[in-house]
Amino acid sequence: MAEIELSLAEIESLVERVFKSNGCDDSNTEALVRTVVSAERDGCISHGLFRVPGYVASLRSRKVDGKAEPQVSKKTPALIQVDGKSGFAPLAIERGIPELASAAKLLGIGIMTIRNSHHFAALWPEVESLASQQLIGIACLNYMPVVAPFGGKAPLFGTNPIAFAWPRENNTPLVFDMATSAMAQGEVQIADRDGLSVPLGTGLDAHGNMSTNPRDILDGVLLPFGGYKGSAIALMVELLAAGATGDHFSYEAEQADNCDGGPPPGGELIIAISPEVTAGPDWSRHCEDFFTRFEAIDGTRLPGMRRHRLRDGTENRCVNDLLLERIEQLCRPVAQNDRPGLA
């Protein structure tokens, strides 16, 4: 495996070129650039440039509209609904968050459902954007059936990520953002690409046997994290992201998808809570006392801290050479009949 070093500015310019040359308008390009670059900046290589070939495949197959203009509406004072209009999720999220934040600041809580969009990214951008407005953020979404419920060997759940952000005065927010599978599928794919093994308990091969071989697991099934408890969280995410939004369960997303390798159609649920309203003006000091006790325990660290530390680094980021070559190829014009997604 060889890697090439790129500055964040070079990554940004590459990502902008690849989306513009594949039919995205300025608004969608800018939202996607922010999403992909923030993942590379924060060291989440499974959800940055690694996802670009999938995004482009979905533009070229016309599954996703690179010029989609999401529609935001307020169904009740606390409920914001976003119709992604068959576009990628980043713009739908960015369009809806200001309304969601206003609702939460006024009422103490706001809920946003996103439907009819395609999510292929990490979730911390949506919850961090709420935390930057002194709001608690919770976001979750489902995917395609690649995870077996606890005790089973057949897939039903997606890798169903859930993210949580807690605002902190004069500090980066507390954020966790995680798949509810033992490993995110993207991490297993990267282990496969790089010839690495994965921990026992990550998944089963196609015969239902435990395996440490990522290729065998990708051909078989992932397991939820944390046994039956993680399985219950994955089940909750499936219900919140599909049952509560009215969009696809993971098995329905698979049926609706054209299997182009890009993100399937689906929904997302985002909740915003104002601690100022729910707990009162002393909420921040009260919670900082708690964080002080947490951090005083040897061997611990708050989730999100590693990522925020990486964010501050100005050094070049390392990118897999074959991935870079592939993305450069995807920037180049292709024969008309190979580019059905372009207008």
Binding site for ligand NDP (CB under 6 A): 44, 46-47, 119-124, 141, 143, 159, 161, 163, 176-179, 184, 187, 301, 303-307
Q: Any catalytic annotation for residue 47?
A: yes
Q: Which does 63 bind (CB under 5 to 8 A by kind): ligand PYC, ligand NDP, none?
A: none
Number of other CB atoms surrounding residue 48 within 10 Å: 25
Q: Determine which one of 187, 211, 250, 268 is catalytic.
A: 187
Token pair 């919670």 is found at: 287
Q: Is 253 helix (H, G, I), strand (E, B) or coil?
A: helix
Going 293 to 294 to 296 to 298, the CA torsion angle's sign is positive
Q: Which does 157 bind (CB under 5 to 8 A by kind): ligand PYC, ligand NDP, none?
A: none
Q: Any catalytic annotation for residue 328?
A: no
- Contact present, 79 and 106 (Cβ < 8 Å): no
- Contact present, 117 and 84 (Cβ < 8 Å): yes
Q: Is 246 helix (H, G, I), strand (E, B) or coil?
A: coil
Q: How far is the CB of 306 from ligand NDP (least distance, A)?
A: 3
Q: Determine which one of 21, 27, 47, 268 is catalytic.
A: 47
Q: How far is the C-alpha of 8 from the C-alpha of 16, rounded, in Å?
A: 12
- C-alpha distances (whole Å) from 290 to each of 168, 280, 293 are 12, 16, 5
Contact string (CB under 6 A) for ligand PYC, positions 177-206, x = contact: --x----xxx--------------------
Q: Which does 148 bind (CB under 5 to 8 A by kind): ligand PYC, ligand NDP, none?
A: none
Instruction: Tell me whether residue 303 or residue 313 sits nearer to ligand NDP (CB atom).
Output: 303
Q: Any catalytic annotation for residue 308?
A: no
Q: 141: exposed, middle or buried (C-beta count within 10 Å: 0-12, 13-18, 19+)?
A: buried
**φ and ψ at 152, to 5 degrees?**
-105, 170
Q: How far is the CB of 269 from ligand PYC (least distance, A)?
A: 16
Contact string (CB under 6 A) for ligand PYC, positions 138-157, x = contact: -----x--------------
Instruction: Tell me whether residue 75 or residue 306 sits nearer to ligand PYC (CB atom).
Output: 306
Q: How far is the CB of 204 from ligand NDP (least distance, A)?
A: 18
Q: How far is the C-alpha of 51 from the C-alpha of 39, rounded, in Å?
A: 10
The amino acid at 108: G
- Does the protein bind ligand PYC through residue 117 (CB under 6 A)? no
Q: Determine which one of 21, 27, 38, 46 is catalytic.
A: 46
Which residues are near ligand PYC by CB under 6 A?
Answer: 46, 120, 143, 159, 179, 184-186
As annotated, the active-site residues are: 46-47, 187
